[in-house]
Amino acid sequence: NWKMGDFVQLEIARIRELVGDRALVLGAVSGGVDSTVGAALMREAIGDRFKAILVDNGCMRLNECEQVKETLGKHLGINLTVVEAGDLFLSRLAGVTEPEKKRKIIGSTFIDLFEQEAIRIEKEAENTPNTGKVEWFLQGTLYPDVIESLSFRGPSATIKTHHNVGGLPERMMNGQGLRLIEPLRLLFKDEVRAIGRQLGIHESLVNRHPFPGPGIAIRILGDVTKERVEIARQADNIFISMIKEAGLYDEISQAFAGLDTNRSVGVFGDQRVWGYIIILRAVRTKDFMSAEVFNFDNAFLANVSRTICNQVEGVARVVYDLTSKPPGTIELE
């Protein structure tokens, strides 16, 4: 029977003990509740020796990077460095359609950039007294990520490689490079949210739907190109805005618009078009290990469909995914 208040104090003490009083900790934030709570704990524990970066992987949601930078600065006093790497990610993803491959490429590209940032930060800190090297790397890994990535019955039993658990190179795991610090490794999402509230993190951030590290890349079936990311991003923005306007955001655990591999024929005016297919997904879940489909009324969905077809060029059809988890997963890939 453990209490959340104890968790925060114990974890801050554990971080201080692990990190000591000279080392720097590098942390990647995404604007989601997990990495934000992780960052808040680090900042509480070691102040400015925690260095936060946000890697723009080219697969973030609309205006997300600017919003995250502003929010972290305003609410947590964290000065975030945004690393623009969209072109690098998209070039490495070119032609890759297999979901696990996408995750591994994205994961290893993140690590390459984190290591580069560690070097840059160390150079910057060279003349600061009592400051050591970047020795630790923060990850907002949760308990469900750990469970789903572990293989209980050999490799074939692996469900999915979460980019923040699998996909990490050996050198990060075996102590030769940056060591991992994962303050949330034993927590479920609702516990992370409770801790976020306790730390004074704004409700709009605490209640934010989760967004996976690989971002839109695992919501686009097939090829990830700039054009296809842009289409999914625009459609997603419309869907989420309409959900918020309808007052449904907090009733849904996670919602997004993804993109199908295939195209479909539609009619616009008197023209036949061969357009993209948007897949809407919205689920309710407590622990993200299983999930049920959210029941919108049809008029709402029809309105979303109409708006997306009208406003996102190239989209000719919108479908709603009715698959629960299991057998589906929450993300499309």
Q: Which of residues 194-213 bind ligand XMP (CB under 6 A)?
A: 210, 212-213
Count the site residues for ligand XMP by CB under 6 A: 15
Outline where 20-166 has alpha helix (H): 33-46, 64-76, 86-93, 99-125, 143-149
Q: Which residue has 């079936």 as its token pair?
A: 221
Comparing CB distances to ligand XMP, the nearer of 12 and 249 is 249
Under the criterion CB under 6 A, does residue 222 sit at the interface with ligand XMP? no
3-state secondary structure of 93: helix
Any contact of residue 139 with ligand XMP (CB under 6 A)? Answer: no
**Which residue lies nearer to ligand XMP by CB, 51 or 103?**
103
Could you tell me how far CA 95 lies from the centroid of its own chain?
A: 22
Is 35 among the annotated ligand-binding positions? yes
* Amino acid found at 39: A
Is residue 329 involved in binding ligand XMP (CB under 6 A)?
yes
Helices (H) and strands (E) in the chain, counts: 11, 9
Strands of the chain, DSSP E: 24-28, 50-56, 81-84, 134-138, 179-181, 254-268, 271-284, 292-293, 315-320
Q: What's the min distance (Å) between Cβ of 149 and ligand XMP?
A: 9
Q: 148-177 mask for ligand XMP (x: CB under 6 A)? A: ------------x-xxx-------------
Is residue 102 within the footprint of ligand XMP (CB under 6 A)? no
31 annotated ligand binder: yes
Enumerate residues 240-299 that contact ligand XMP by CB under 6 A.
254, 288
Residue 119 or 150: which CB sits closer to ligand XMP? 150
DSSP code for 325: B
Q: Determine contact, residues 24/135, Cβ cutoff 8 Å.
A: yes
Binding site for ligand XMP (CB under 6 A): 103, 160, 162-164, 210, 212-214, 254, 288, 325, 329-331
